Amino acid sequence: MALNRDFVGRTYASSAPYEVSRVKIREFAAAIGDANPIYRDKEAARAAGHPDVVAPPTFPIVFSLQGGSEALVDPDLGLNIAMVVHGEQRFEYTRPVHAGDELVTRSTITDIRSAGRNELMTIRSEVTTVSGEPVCTTYNTIVERGGAA
Amino acid sequence: MTATVSYDEVEVGQEIPAAEYRVRRVNLVMYAGASGDFNPIHWNERFAKAVGLPDVIAHGMYTMAQGGRFVTDWAGDPAAVVDYGVRFSSMVVVPDDDEGATITVSGVVEEKLDDKRVVVGLTARADDAKVLSRARAVVQLA
C-alpha cells in the first residue's frame, strides 16, 4: 500500500529529554565491537580533550527516532512495519555527543516517494541540548519493500 | 578533540588499508539491545524468511557502525568524524553458525576541504556484495 503523502512536512517532538549516560555509551560500543577507550574510559576521554566519554558517530540512532517512530505506527500512514528495511542514514555533527548531554529531538518527515516497487520515507531529526544548543542533525530513510506495488 | 592524522600529510587518492569485521548472531542480539531496534528480521530466522528474506540480516546500522569504527580508528579520535552518511545497498546475511558474516571496509581520501577537513569515501563488502554505497565521512584532521 502506498504511504500517505499527507505526512510529508509533519513534525514530531521527542516526548522527554534523552540523558546520554556513560553506561549506555559503553554498552553501545561493546555492541559494535569497538574497544576505543574514548568511548569507555572517562580519563582517556579527558586526556583527549573531551569533557567526558564520547559517543560513537552512529550512537544518535538510539534516541533520534523517538518522535518519528510515532509516525511509523500511525495507521493513517499505511506502513507495513514488517516490510521495512533501512535505506539511508546520515549524521551531521555540530559537536560530538558525550556522556552528560541531555538531548531533545524534533523529527520532520521531509519526503515520501516511490522507487520501483518500494516506498521510501525520509525523516530529518534536529538534535539539540535541552537549552537549545545544536548538536547534530540526522537523516533517516526507510524502505518499505513492495509498498508501491 | 585532536585527530592523530595531520591534514598536511594526507593526499587526495590516499588509500586507507582495508579492515575486516566479523558479525555473528550474538553481535546482532547485542546490537538490538543496545540500539533498541528489535525488528525480528535481525534475530529471528523464521520471521525473516516469512517476510521474504534469505535469512537473518544484520541491522544496517550495525554495518554503518563498522564503517564508523574504520574511520575513527584511522582518524585517532571519534569526535573527528563531523559528518557520516551511507546508503544501504545490499543486505548482510548472517547465518546461524560460528563463522557468521564478514564485513570488509576500505577507504580512500576523496577530497581535501577547508578548515583541515577531508572527505573519506568508504567501501564495505560482504560476500562480494557492496553493502554500503555513497558512504562518505567528513573528518576533521589535525
Q: Would you say A102 and A60 are in contact if contact means Cβ atoms under 8 Å apart?
A: no
Q: Is residue A109 a part of any domain in this protein?
A: yes
For residues B137 and A91, give the distance between their C-alpha atoms in angstroms, rounded to a whole number.
9
Mean pLDDT of A54-67: 92
Q: Is residue B6 a part of any domain in this protein?
A: no
Mean pLDDT of A55-73: 89
Q: Is residue B3 a part of any domain in this protein?
A: no
pLDDT over 80 at A149, yes or no = no
Question: Is residue A47 less than 8 Å (CB to CB) from chain B?
Answer: no
pLDDT over 80 at B136, yes or no = yes
Residues of A in contact with B69 (CB under 8 A): 32-34, 36, 56
Phi, psi of A17 (to 5 degrees): -60, 145
Question: Is residue A7 less than 8 Å (CB to CB) from chain B?
Answer: no
Q: Is residue B118 a part of any domain in this protein?
A: yes
Q: Is residue B29 a part of any domain in this protein?
A: no
Q: Is residue A123 a part of any domain in this protein?
A: yes
Q: Is residue B31 a part of any domain in this protein?
A: no
pLDDT over 70 at B25, yes or no = yes
The candidate with the shortest Cα–Cα distance to A106, out of A90, A124, A87, is: A124
Percent of all residues in chain A with a pLDDT value above 90, rounded to a whole number: 83
Alpha helices per DSSP H over A2-128: 22-31, 42-47, 66-72
Mean pLDDT (chain B) is 96
Mean pLDDT of A100-106: 97
Percent of all residues in chain A with a pLDDT value above 70, rounded to a whole number: 100
Cα B17 to Cα A3, A48, B51, B60, B109: the distances in Å are: 42, 25, 37, 22, 11
Which one has a higher pLDDT value, A31 or A67? A31
Domain that includes residue B65, residue range: 14-22+58-140
pLDDT, position A41: 97
Q: Pick from A27, A39, A81: which is nearest to B78 by CB?
A: A39
pLDDT, position A1: 72
Q: Is residue A77 a part of any domain in this protein?
A: yes
pLDDT, position A66: 76
The cell numbers describing A140, all together, are 533517516
- Work out the pLDDT band at B10, boundaries 50, 70, 90: very high
Chain B stretch 26-65, residues whose beta carbon is closer than 8 A to a beta carbon of chain A: 27, 30-31, 33-37, 39, 41, 51-52, 57, 59-62, 64-65
Q: Is residue A79 a part of any domain in this protein?
A: yes
Q: Pick from B27, B65, B79: which is nearest to A50 by CB?
A: B79
- Work out the pLDDT band at A71, boundaries 50, 70, 90: confident
Q: Which residue of B has its CA nearest to A69?
A: B37
Domain with residue B76: its CATH number is 3.10.129.10
Q: Half-sphere exposure (CA, 13 Å, Cβ side) for A116?
A: 5
Q: How many CB pairs under 8 A join A and B?
A: 113
- Work out the pLDDT band at A69, boundaries 50, 70, 90: confident
**Total number of residues shown for chain B:** 142
How many CB atoms within 10 Å of residue B94?
A: 26
Residues of A in contact with B71 (CB under 8 A): 57
Q: Is residue B41 a part of any domain in this protein?
A: no
pLDDT, position B73: 97
- Picking from A59-68, A135-144, B120-129, which range would have the lowest pLDDT averaged per residue? A59-68
Mean pLDDT of A110-132: 96
* Residue B68: DSSP 8-state: H
pLDDT, position B1: 56
Query: ipTM score of the complex?
Result: 0.96
Does B1 contact A49 at a Cβ distance shorter than 8 Å? yes
Domain that includes residue A94, residue range: 5-20+57-144
